[in-house]
Structures are given as C-alpha cells and as structure tokens.
Chains A and B, each alone.
Chain A
Amino acid sequence: MRKWSRLVGYVVLIGLLLIVPQFVRDPRWMHLVIMTGLYIILAGGLRLIMSTGQVSFAHAAFWGIGAYTSTLLVMRLGVSFWIALPLSGLVGAIVASLIGYPCLRLKGPYFFLVTMVVGEILRLFLTNSVDFFGGDAGISSIPSPNRIRIGNWAIAFPYRSVNYYYLMLVGLFVSLFVYYRLERSRFGMICSGVRADGSLSESLGVNVMKYKLTAFVVGSLLASLVGSFFAHYTTFISPGFFTFNESTIMLIMVVIGGLESTTGAIIGVILITVLTELTREFSKYEIIVYGAALVLVFRFAPGGIFDLYRKFISRLRSHRASVA
C-alpha cells in the first residue's frame, strides 16, 4: 500500500512539474523558476560534499569553471553545445580531483580555507586574462544550444524559450536521482559516519579519502554541468557571477535547509529565493534577514529546517502512539 501511494505521489509531482510552463507565462517568473531549479542542483551537490564533513567555499568556482569551459569550447572551437556540456562536466571533475586529492586530507577548517583560496585564485585568473576570458567585463553573446533533430521534429532554443525549462528539468531529475540514490545507499551511510567522526571511521577500515573524494568530484561535476547550461541560457557570464559571495549564499542555503538530506538543500534554496523576492522592497536590509536566519537556525536547530520538521513529525507520531 505504502509503495503504491509513493509511486502515485511521484507521478503526480512530475506531472505537475511538466505542466508548470502552462501556468507560468511571464518570462520573469519563468526565469526565477529555472534559476531555482539550477540552484537546487548546485545546493544538492554542495550538500553531498558537506555530507562527508568538508565545507567547500569553492562551489561557485566550479559553477564558473563549467560556464567558462563550455563558452570557450563553443565560441572559440566551434564545438556543439551538446558536446561542450559533458566536456565541461569532465573538466570540472578533473579539476576537483586535482584539488581534492591533496587537500581533502586536511581536517576541519583547513580544507575550507583552501577552497576559499582556490575560489579567489580562479576569480583573479579570470579577471586578469582579458583577451582569453573576457576579464572583468565577461563574455557576452554566448550562442544558445544547437537545435536537436529527432526524425522530422526539431527542438530549438531561442532566447528565453520554454525549452530551457524542460532541459533544466531533465538535469534536475538526473541530479536528484543521483543525490537521493547516493544518500540512501550504503555510500550515504558511510558519509554520515565520516562526517560524524572521520578518525573513528578510518580505524574501522573505511577508506575515508575515497568517500570524500567521490562526493567532492560528483558535487563539483554537477556544478560544472549547471555552469555550462547557465552560460548558454543567460548568454552572458562574468567572474562576478562565481565569487566568494555566491559560494557563501549557496552554503547558507544548504545549512539552513539541513545537511542530513538533499531535501534540506531543496528547502534551503526555495526559502532563500522566496525571502529574496519578498524583501525586494527592503533590499537594503536583506542581509540582516540572512544573518538572523543563520543565527536562529544554528542556535536552535543546527540540523537545519528539514531536521526540525522531521523531529516535529516524529514527536507527533510518538505522541499519537503514546495516546493510542
């Protein structure tokens, strides 16, 4: 009975997501929806990395690496977007491995500091190479993905077309599938163990490095894929999109939502996005809202909002059980 209702639930959810464009006609809201979807993929990846106990301040940098790689492949080498996309992911994965291998050994705050430095290096590099990477002013007029031909039909991607939404949706489904599978499998369990006490896990025979590296590479790879999509969707990228600031916002989204599950990341993204839109009028003080959210969450609900929700549900259940 349980499995049935679960399945029906998923089908309904997917169905709803598919017909969203029917209700969201205003390009303004559609853009927000697409960006939210992208942020969910990004935040989910960051959560994956953090599930092994490593905080990465360079997540936005990988987003940037994917964006710039894809842009240069398409604009300088004439490669098709559909090939540039996976290649960007590959580049992100390679960079993540190169950084991860020496740095994930570091405990506690050290890895986090390294990622801060890495992010800065990337930003400086991009800003200072004007000829190749467009420097501070960025690269504009990035071409949109080429048409896909299936038999007699063609799917095109004119500027801000609704097809971007569907492409994003595909990416979202794939990413969420990866995140939830990893989370609910033995892999996820071991990651939690590593996060709780790395040395204990190691003494129990766990190859801690393998798990940390896998999480880091997978998370960064997906971030790079998002970057590639992002570049060809917005047609303009600059180092300003991928700074320290952006990484901080993504971290806030993940920790407010909760580290225990990818659902936490989803909640965090939606909450922050909604808060940003609501405080648009008083944007001067938007930072105080984030600050307050951070303090409140960590002081009273260090597991994040999702954790709070789960505790609430289980308390309800046990209350019911004791009453019955």
Chain B
Amino acid sequence: MKTTKGFIGVMFILALAILLIAPSVELALAQESQILKIGGFNPRSGPAASWGLNTDRAIDLGADEWNKKGGVTIQGKKYKIEMIHEDDKARAEEAVKAVNKLIYTDKVKFIAGPMMSSPFLASAPIIEATKTITFVGCMAPAVLKDRKYIFRITVPWNHAAPAFFKYVTKIRPNLKTSVHISSNDATGWSSTQADNDSCVAVGIKVLGSEFYDAGTQDFTSMLARILPLKPDFLSFAGTPPNITALVIKQARELGYKGQFIHSSNCSPDVVGPIAGWENIEGMLLGTFTINGEKVPATVKKIHNDWIAKYGQENAGGFGDGIVQYPLIDILSRGVEKANSLDPDKIVTALENLGTMDTVFGKARWGGMETYNNNHQLLIPIWVSQVQNKKLVLLSLEEPWDVPPPEQKWR
C-alpha cells in the first residue's frame, strides 16, 4: 500500500515537473529557429464569429503558401511565419486587451486582418506608437487617413461601388432608378454614401435611402414607403445576408417585381434558402465565387487548398475570408524587398512595390487623394450573378482610385 502510494506520489511530482519545465524548454527551442510572428485580432466568438474565423483562416492559408517555400528571406536567413490569432469579441475594449497581448507579450512584428472598425480604432494608438505594421480589412475612412504604418488590403465601398455600378449600367441599361437600404449605423451610412454617390456618378437615379435599426426583422413598414416609388432595383451594401434575405422575401410578398443588387460581400447560399431561390434569380452581387469561366485558376486552387485544410463543412466560409488571402503575400514581398525588419524601411518598400501580381489579378496601392497616403490596395473587384441557384462570376472590375463626389443622403 505504502509503496504504491509513494510510487504514485513520485510520478505525480515528476509529471508536475515536466509540465513546468517543458514550456520553458519549448520557448528556448523556439528562440533558436527563425520565426516571424504575425498577430491578428477579429471576432472569434459571438454573432460575428463566423466572419472573423473565416478571415483568419484565409490569412493562415496565405501564410502556409509562404511557409511551403521555407518562409520569408531576410538578409539571407529564412523566417517561418507564425500566426497568432486573438479574439476581440467585436468589442473595442477587448481589442485593446488583445493588441496589448500581441504586441507586448507575444512580441509580434506585424498585425494582420482586423475587420471591425471600432475595435481597430481603439487599438490604433498602440499600433502606431509601437510602429507595428498592420494590414487591415476594416472599411471606415478614419482607419487609413493620415496613418503611417497601416495599410488596407480590402477595397472599401467608396472605391468598389463606382466600378460595380458602372459595370451594371453596361450590362443592364434598363436599371435606371434605385432605392438604397442599409442599417442605421456607421457601416450603413458609409455604404449608403458610397452606393448612392456611385449610382449618381454613373447615371442611375437614386429615389431614396432607407435605414433600419439593428434587430429589425420586419421590414414591411419600410417597404410600404419604398414600393410606391417603383424603383427599378433595391440596392444593398454591407447588409448581412440574413437581413438582405428577409427584405427580399418580404418585398416579393408585398408584390415587388424589380431587381435586387448587393454591391459587396453577401453569400447567396444564405440568402437563397431564407428568401427563396426563385426570388433572387438574376440578382447581382459583389461577391466572390468559384463558378464561371472568368474565375482565375489561382482562385480555384486556393479553394481546393481551403477544403483540404478546413474540410467540406467549412467550404461556405471561403467567400467570406478569401478577400484577405493576398495579405501575407503582399506583406512578405514588402519585407523581403526591404530586406530588414525595420518598420520604416518596410513601409517604404511596400509603398514602392508598384504593380503586383496577385491571385485576383493585378493590384497596386492608391488612395492618396482620400487618405494622404497610398496605403489602399486597388485590387480587382468581383461582379457576380445568381444563375440557377449558383453564383457565377460575370467580370473582374478595376476599383476607382478616387471615389465619386459625396452628396447628402440622410
């Protein structure tokens, strides 16, 4: 009895010792090999979780590509990329805590991917103060304006919408009037601004703008105001697919026969079942898809990689995340060109990358007129259409470097 007890006791102490020592050994080993730590913060829990998780997945895929080549080369040494993802729970205060951890505890050199503007803005002071180069996905203009170390790789609506609607007028000249619907918050206002200004710039008449408060599920009152105006199409941007679906469903139920257009990311696989596929046939969306002959082979390859790494059950998230795929690629190119980890040198190198070949086509930096820096990536945007329950790519369009003039819509 006593020997068994003693034996167990010794085993226990040994296990404890290993558990305590092992991490420090690992740490020591880690410091031996060359690692480039890149951090990220996104909502990984809560209602926006799937969006955040898919964005992080896309970034990881991009990191994998470079790690397959051995990593990033700086002064002859190869550095493998290690992504550290933190959860900001879509709250500004949590984002600050996450960024503190990434910068001070994990000692990351770069930050990749934040998509929500408010959490990002709360962390911006720390990021700029510590010269941590950050590639963002968030859309607010304040995010990029007058910044030195921040770059945006997603094309916000004010640059994308004009190109999108210009193409719409080309293939559907019969769509002449619109009413825009969006949420009554910062995202909604900026998307309304961009969409409506773009419509005006390409000759579409905007008959009105409607706003709904968060949590609304019944849009019959809003539609009762809109439908008598008889717009050729209802335009959405930035509205999540489930809300878009409800508006579409209720509009059709109230007898609306016009078109629906969503100029930004919105998955028809979510909209179709809720609104009814027959109701969205022919709908135009500024969303990624792998269907269609114009889809670049590179995108199809990444799609296969995605399914291979994340499984078929997560295949639907590809469209949400893929927009951030080029991030690691462009960042790594900048670092290699600077051949150093010095932030200022890397910023200069990035700015001078010129025209880049990316998975979506040719891209370059722009935005000087709007943001006082050329840190906005101009990369082809997608115009797709729902055809027979499938989303098919119609064309890849060049976003506008200078957004259309702003008018008052509220």
In the assembled complex, B97 has its CB within 8 A of some CB on chain A: yes
Closest A-chain residue to B116, C-beta based? A240
Asked whether, in the complex, the Cβ of A28 is within 8 Å of the Cβ of B185, the reply is no
A248-298 contacts to B (CB < 8 Å):
280, 283-286
Asked whether, in the complex, the Cβ of B91 is within 8 Å of the Cβ of A240, the reply is yes
> Which of A130-138, A165-173, A195-203, A221-229 makes up part of the contact surface?
A130-138
A140-198 contacts to B (CB < 8 Å):
140-141, 159-160
B68-109 contacts to A (CB < 8 Å):
86-87, 89, 91-93, 96-97, 100-101, 103-105
The smallest beta-carbon distance between B111 and chain A, in angstroms, is 14
Complex: A26 Cα to B105 Cα, angstroms: 8
> Which of B123-131, B241-249, B254-262, B278-286 makes up part of the contact surface?
B123-131
Asked whether, in the complex, the Cβ of A236 is within 8 Å of the Cβ of B49, the reply is no
Asked whether, in the complex, the Cβ of B121 is within 8 Å of the Cβ of A236, the reply is yes
Which residues of the partner chain B approach A28 to less than 8 Å between Cβ atoms?
A: 97, 100-101, 103-105
Which residues of the partner chain A approach B97 to less than 8 Å between Cβ atoms?
A: 28, 31-32
Contact with A along B120-152 (1 / 0, CB 8 A): 011011100100000000001010000000000
- Picked from A31, A140, A240, the residue with its CB within 8 Å of the CB of B124 is A140
Closest A-chain residue to B188, C-beta based? A136
Count A-side interface residues using an 8 Å CB cutoff.
Answer: 29
In the assembled complex, A214 has its CB within 8 A of some CB on chain B: no
Range class of the B interface residue count: 20 to 34
- Picked from B45, B100, B101, B184, the residue with its CB within 8 Å of the CB of A286 is B45
Asked whether, in the complex, the Cβ of A26 is within 8 Å of the Cβ of B118, the reply is no
In the assembled complex, A80 has its CB within 8 A of some CB on chain B: no
- Picked from A35, A138, A235, A284, the residue with its CB within 8 Å of the CB of B118 is A138
Asked whether, in the complex, the Cβ of A238 is within 8 Å of the Cβ of B87, the reply is no
Complex: A162 Cα to B45 Cα, angstroms: 32
Closest B-chain residue to A136, C-beta based? B186
The smallest beta-carbon distance between B187 and chain A, in angstroms, is 8
In the assembled complex, A97 has its CB within 8 A of some CB on chain B: no
Chain B CB count within 10 A is highest, among A135, A138, A159, A285, for A138
- Picked from A127, A137, A160, A245, the residue with its CB within 8 Å of the CB of B121 is A137
Q: A26-B104, A286-B45 are in contact. Are A31 and B91 (CB under 8 A)?
A: no
The smallest beta-carbon distance between B304 and chain A, in angstroms, is 28
Asked whether, in the complex, the Cβ of B101 is within 8 Å of the Cβ of A238, the reply is no
Closest B-chain residue to A277, C-beta based? B97
- Picked from B45, B91, B117, B122, the residue with its CB within 8 Å of the CB of A284 is B45
Closest A-chain residue to B43, C-beta based? A283
In the assembled complex, B219 has its CB within 8 A of some CB on chain A: no
Complex: A280 Cα to B92 Cα, angstroms: 15
Asked whether, in the complex, the Cβ of A283 is within 8 Å of the Cβ of B91, the reply is no
Which residues of the partner chain B approach A112 to less than 8 Å between Cβ atoms?
A: none
In the assembled complex, A27 has its CB within 8 A of some CB on chain B: yes
In the assembled complex, B189 has its CB within 8 A of some CB on chain A: yes
- Picked from B87, B121, B140, B184, the residue with its CB within 8 Å of the CB of A280 is B87
Complex: A136 Cα to B118 Cα, angstroms: 8
The smallest beta-carbon distance between B238 and chain A, in angstroms, is 13
Q: A160-B126, A283-B44 are in contact. Are A136 and B101 (CB under 8 A)?
A: no
The smallest beta-carbon distance between A156 and chain B, in angstroms, is 15
Q: A160-B126, A284-B45, A284-B49 are in contact. Are A240 and B142 (CB under 8 A)?
A: no
The smallest beta-carbon distance between A257 and chain B, in angstroms, is 20
Closest B-chain residue to A246, C-beta based? B93
Q: A280-B87, A284-B44 are in contact. Are A137 and B126 (CB under 8 A)?
A: no
Complex: A31 Cα to B125 Cα, angstroms: 14
Asked whether, in the complex, the Cβ of A236 is within 8 Å of the Cβ of B45, the reply is no
Complex: A238 Cα to B117 Cα, angstroms: 11
Asked whether, in the complex, the Cβ of A234 is within 8 Å of the Cβ of B45, the reply is no
- Picked from B89, B122, B126, the residue with its CB within 8 Å of the CB of A238 is B122
Complex: A281 Cα to B175 Cα, angstroms: 50
The smallest beta-carbon distance between A160 and chain B, in angstroms, is 7
The smallest beta-carbon distance between B202 and chain A, in angstroms, is 26
Closest 10 CB pairs of A and B: A136-B186, A28-B100, A28-B104, A284-B45, A283-B87, A137-B186, A236-B122, A136-B185, A283-B45, A26-B104
Binding site for B on A (CB under 8 A): 26-28, 31-32, 35, 127-128, 130, 135-138, 140-141, 159-160, 234-236, 238, 240-241, 245, 280, 283-286
5 additional A-B pairs beyond A284-B45, A284-B49, beta carbons within 8 Å, are A32-B97, A137-B186, A140-B121, A236-B121, A286-B45
